[in-house]
């Protein structure tokens, strides 16, 4: 399936800004005048005050331009989003607009007839502003199914003040220097890594990133079609996770800690200086900022890419990454739904999105609002990557991806050996 690995440098390369006049694939207001008022139900994961305020303002602007169209936003916790969306689709109550992460999850939605093909309704201004590469996250068999709003490279987000306190003078580049940093932090009485193990996927991302270092690009690219997982690199990656866990780098009780919900979450531990670093995507600055004492982004937060692994077959510059986009349900009112997607792709609204979510926009003309040093470092890493790979749980689909994630949690809990965790994954992919 197309989309798991893509050229990284061009994913945010765009040519021109969007003009307001180019935002409609047809007039929603004229549509509503002939068929009555149009209502759109919109699911997003903007739990923070800034993101909720952004959507309220953006929706108000959209409704002002398209009289007769009403957008009702509903916030769903990120950790619950995929499961709730899957349940809604099975119950035939899919929201008109919803968060999209691509991969096999998207392929499953397309196969079930649940998501709208928007290829021919994306305006020329939108296509020009975002560029072809940005849409590749949400493309399947040459057709586009979502409007990409952000690009999210993964790596370690760390507190520079805590690194300074521990005497760490340079960021780790390989596992030897990474393990040395963990030791230095522990010696300074600092928890090295926050991990929201109760949420499962943050733990599994260690497997993803180790696999990106251990496996060749060809093996990674073939993951959605791999029904065996018999390349030795997969077991090596799982063993790497086990070896890291054996150094006790995580907070006490990490398997019961949530990732992004509340001050006691792993993101909260970073926000309050109780842990030094966390492996996450480019949503991390904004997520952490929700839990700082002043509600602002952590000024000492910085970024470094996942370290190189000795003897690994993967390119050390490769990056795990994804993109948050928005899809229309196959049954959503047209053209109102796609009008909304084109509307939010404009430079003004991508700037607002990047600011509210503290993330990296796909519209190049909106990049000027990104000033956070951690995000700028993450962007540079993304642009310098030989290639990037989509999160494995997205690439594999909800059921198979969840099984892979759970196998890593069982490994960290001491319930499975690396070999047993691999067997659980192999069983899952064979059944997909």
Q: What are phi and psi of 67, to 5 degrees?
A: -60, 140
| Contact between 80 and 47 (Cβ < 8 Å) | no
pLDDT at position 35 = 59
Nearest to 150 by CA among 325, 328, 387: 325
Burial class (CB in 10 A: 0-12, 13-18, 19+), 189: exposed
| Contact between 278 and 266 (Cβ < 8 Å) | yes
Return the sign of the alpha-carbon dihedral for residues 358, 363, 369, 374. positive
Return the sign of the alpha-carbon dihedral for residues 320, 379, 46, 335. negative
Within 268-367, strands assigned E span 275-280, 301-304, 319-328, 360-361
Contacts of 369 (CB under 8 A, 6+ apart): 351, 354, 355, 361
pLDDT at position 232 = 98
Token couple for 274: 């109780």
Within 239-332, strands assigned E span 275-280, 301-304, 319-328
pTM score of the predicted model: 0.85
pLDDT at position 137 = 87
With b for 16 or more beta-carbon neighbours within 10 A and e for fewer, the 385-403 pattern comes to bebbbbbbbbbbbbebbbb
Can you tell me the distance from the alpha carbon of 82 to that of 86, in angstroms, rounded to the nearest whole number?
6
pLDDT in tens for each of the 432 residues of the chain?
A: 333 333 333 333 332 232 223 333 333 333 333 357 999 999 999 988 899 999 999 999 999 999 999 999 999 988 789 889 999 999 999 999 999 989 999 999 999 999 999 999 999 999 999 988 889 889 999 999 999 999 999 999 999 999 999 999 999 999 999 999 999 999 999 999 999 999 999 999 999 999 999 999 999 999 999 999 999 999 999 999 999 999 999 999 999 999 998 899 999 999 999 999 999 999 999 999 999 999 999 999 999 999 999 999 999 999 999 999 999 999 999 999 999 999 999 999 999 999 999 899 999 899 999 999 999 999 999 999 999 999 999 999 989 999 999 999 999 999 999 999 999 999 999 987
pLDDT at position 30 = 32
pLDDT at position 36 = 75
Angle at 193 between CA 188 and CA 196, to 5 degrees: 145
Neighbours of 65 (CB within 10 A): 14
Domains and CATH numbers, the chain: 5-153+322-376 (3.40.190.10), 155-319+390-430 (3.40.190.10)
pLDDT at position 7 = 33
């Amino acid at each position: 399936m197309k989309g798991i690995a893509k050229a990284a440098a061009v994913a945010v390369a765009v040519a021109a800004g969007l003009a307001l006049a180019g935002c409609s694939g047809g007039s929603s207001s004229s549509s509503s005048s002939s068929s009555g008022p149009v209502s759109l139900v919109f699911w997003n994961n903007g739990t923070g005050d800034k993101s909720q305020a952004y959507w309220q303002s953006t929706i108000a602007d959209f409704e002002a331009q398209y009289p007769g169209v009403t957008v009702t936003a509903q916030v769903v916790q990120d950790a619950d989003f995929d499961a709730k969306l899957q349940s809604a689709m099975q119950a035939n109550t899919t929201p008109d607009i919803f968060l999209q992460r691509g991969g096999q999850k998207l392929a499953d939605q397309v196969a079930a007839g649940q998501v709208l093909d928007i290829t021919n309704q994306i305006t020329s201004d939108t296509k020009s502003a975002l560029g072809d590469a940005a849409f590749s996250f949400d493309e399947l068999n040459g057709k586009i199914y979502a409007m990409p709003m952000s690009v999210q490279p993964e790596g370690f987000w760390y507190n520079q003040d805590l690194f300074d306190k521990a005497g760490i003078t340079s960021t780790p580049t390989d596992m030897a220097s990474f393990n040395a940093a963990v030791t230095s932090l522990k010696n300074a009485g600092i928890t090295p890594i926050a991990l929201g193990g109760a949420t499962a996927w943050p733990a599994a991302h260690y497997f993803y990133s180790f696999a990106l270092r251990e496996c060749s690009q060809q093996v990674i690219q073939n993951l959605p079609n791999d029904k065996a997982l018999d390349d030795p690199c997969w077991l090596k990656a799982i063993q790497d996770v086990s070896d890291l866990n054996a150094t006790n780098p995580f907070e006490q009780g990490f398997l019961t800690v949530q990732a992004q919900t509340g001050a006691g979450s792993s993101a909260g531990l970073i926000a309050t200086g109780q842990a030094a670093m966390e492996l996450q995507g480019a949503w991390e600055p904004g997520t952490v900022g929700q839990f700082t004492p002043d509600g602002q982004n952590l000024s000492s937060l910085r970024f470094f890419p996942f370290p190189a692994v000795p003897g690994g077959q993967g390119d050390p510059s490769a990056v795990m990454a994804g993109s948050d986009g928005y899809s229309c349900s196959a049954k959503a009112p047209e053209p109102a739904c796609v009008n909304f997607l084109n509307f939010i792709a404009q430079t003004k609204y991508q700037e607002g999105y990047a600011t509210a979510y503290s993330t990296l926009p796909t519209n190049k003309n909106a990049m000027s609002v990104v000033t956070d040093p951690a995000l700028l470092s993450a962007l540079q890493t993304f642009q310098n990557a030989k290639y990037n790979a989509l999160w494995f749980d997205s690439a594999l689909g909800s059921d198979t991806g969840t099984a892979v994630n759970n196998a890593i949690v069982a490994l960290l809990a001491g319930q499975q050996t690396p070999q047993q965790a691999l067997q659980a994954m192999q069983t899952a992919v064979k059944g997909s």
